[in-house]
Amino acid sequence: MSGHLEGILASGIPTGVLTGENVRKLIAYAKKHGFAIPAFNCTTSSTINAVLEAARDNKAPVIIQFSQGGSAYFAGKGLANGKQEASILGAVSGAKYVREVAKAYGIPVLLHSDHCAKKLLPWFDGMLQADEEYFKVHGEALFSSHMLDLSEEPKHENIEICVGYLQRMAKLGILLEMEIGITGGEEDGVNNEDVDNAALYTQPQDIWDIYEAFTKVTDLFTIAAAFGNVHGVYKPGNVKLHPQLLGKHQEFVAQKLGLAAGSKPVNFVFHGGSGSTDAEIKEAVSHGVIKMNIDTDTQWAYWEGIKNFYESKKGYLQGQIGNPDGEDKPNKKYYDPRVWIREGEKTMSKRVGQALKELGSAGTL
Ligand SMILES: [Zn+2]
């Protein structure tokens, strides 16, 4: 693969980490071509590389995101995190790592931070401060976007806090992803397994209230609405996925704005999509989903490669010396982390490629 380093693709979208106007361009490009960009949770340079490699090989833009827990892990589990200091440090150092290597893969990358509940706002504030510092030096923010998840708070408070941050972020060209309604399941310490069923489906009026308040500040925002989606792997039960609700939201907002029928003014994000069918994903994308989070499935994929490697090479992985070929034979080429971790990277990359195809983004560059 040649033509790496910084460049501009035929679509006019640059390669490397995008911010501001280039994020707008990429979203417009995705909507025009009817695809969504998957966002993969990364926790190490290894998982980041696996994602970038798959995106390059599939000629697709990609989103790399860090959760609060994943960020702390990136900096090291041995660090204290009582004031979110490890999560801030991990997110910032992970972001700087992605910024350096993304250029070499020759694809557009959005750098994002995942769910931030109200109690984790110090993490958000720390990242935003790093964005402002980066902006002073480089004329753009460190991250492309951040997510605030205040879906547990009353709607008016959710909107109010988001708008406050949006004002600060708009100056830096950072997109805000927000969440409304309850997505079932568990993620980073928020457990929504027992919530009322009605709260699992966001109402059109909620979407309009957000849209109206946010567009007074900027158009750089996305909405993760609840349409029966569930975080983590779940057994299908009384929660049913209704992607068509997103179409109803688009209609409602388009009508309020006096736009033509079929226009999709809202940019939606699909959370908790593990276990969704290909048809459900395609329907969600057809209703204006431009980002879908993927974590659980790539976690399994990474482990699967390591598991398979261990099982097939078990006799070579029981000691430094001695294997089925002889008592004095060395096993270094099996237990070297570069060998078995690479197996996890390969199976994760394959799963990333599958998601890029399912969301229609493969081959779009
Ligand atoms: Zn969510």
Residue 241 CA, ligand 1 centroid: distance in Å:
14
Q: Which residue has the tokens 């398979």?
A: 308
- pLDDT score for 274: 77
Active site annotation includes 149: no
Instruction: List CB contacts of 218: < 8 A, sequence separation 6 or more.
Output: 166, 169, 170
- pLDDT score for 229: 82
Burial category of 274 from C-beta neighbours within 10 Å (exposed 0-12, middle 13-18, buried 19 and up): buried
Residue 7 CA, ligand 1 centroid: distance in Å:
33
Alpha helix stretches (DSSP H) within the chain? 21-33, 45-57, 68-75, 85-105, 121-138, 155-170, 204-215, 244-257, 278-286, 296-312, 332-335, 337-358
Residue 252 CA, ligand 1 centroid: distance in Å:
22
Residue 186 CA, ligand 1 centroid: distance in Å:
9
Rounded CA-CA distance 146/130 in Å is 12
Rounded CA-CA distance 144/239 in Å is 33
Residue 315 CA, ligand 1 centroid: distance in Å:
43
Architecture of the domain spanning 8-359? Alpha-Beta Barrel (3.20)
- pLDDT score for 13: 94
- pLDDT score for 15: 96
Rounded CA-CA distance 278/208 in Å is 28
| Residues, CB-to-ion distance under 5 Å, ligand 1 | 179, 183, 271
Instruction: List CB contacts of 138: < 8 A, sequence separation 6 or more.
Output: none
Residue 188 CA, ligand 1 centroid: distance in Å:
10
- 57, 114, 149, 325: the catalytic one is 114
Distances (CA, A) of 322 to 310, 311, 317, 318, 327: 16, 17, 9, 8, 4
Instruction: List CB contacts of 365: < 8 A, sequence separation 6 or more.
Output: 9, 11, 59, 60, 61, 107, 108
Residue 115 CA, ligand 1 centroid: distance in Å:
6
Residue 91 CA, ligand 1 centroid: distance in Å:
19
pTM assigned to the model: 0.92
Residue 225 CA, ligand 1 centroid: distance in Å:
8
Token pair of 298 as six digits: 């790539």
- List the domain boundaries for the chain: 8-359
Would you write out the chain's pLDDT as a tens digit for each of its 365 residues? 344 445 888 888 999 999 999 999 999 999 999 999 999 999 999 999 999 999 999 999 999 999 999 999 999 999 999 999 999 999 999 999 999 999 999 999 999 999 999 999 999 999 999 999 999 999 999 999 999 999 999 999 999 999 999 999 999 999 999 999 876 555 555 555 555 556 678 999 999 999 999 999 999 999 999 998 876 555 555 557 889 999 999 999 999 999 998 999 999 999 988 778 889 999 999 999 999 999 999 999 999 999 999 999 999 999 999 999 999 999 999 999 999 999 999 999 999 999 999 999 999 99
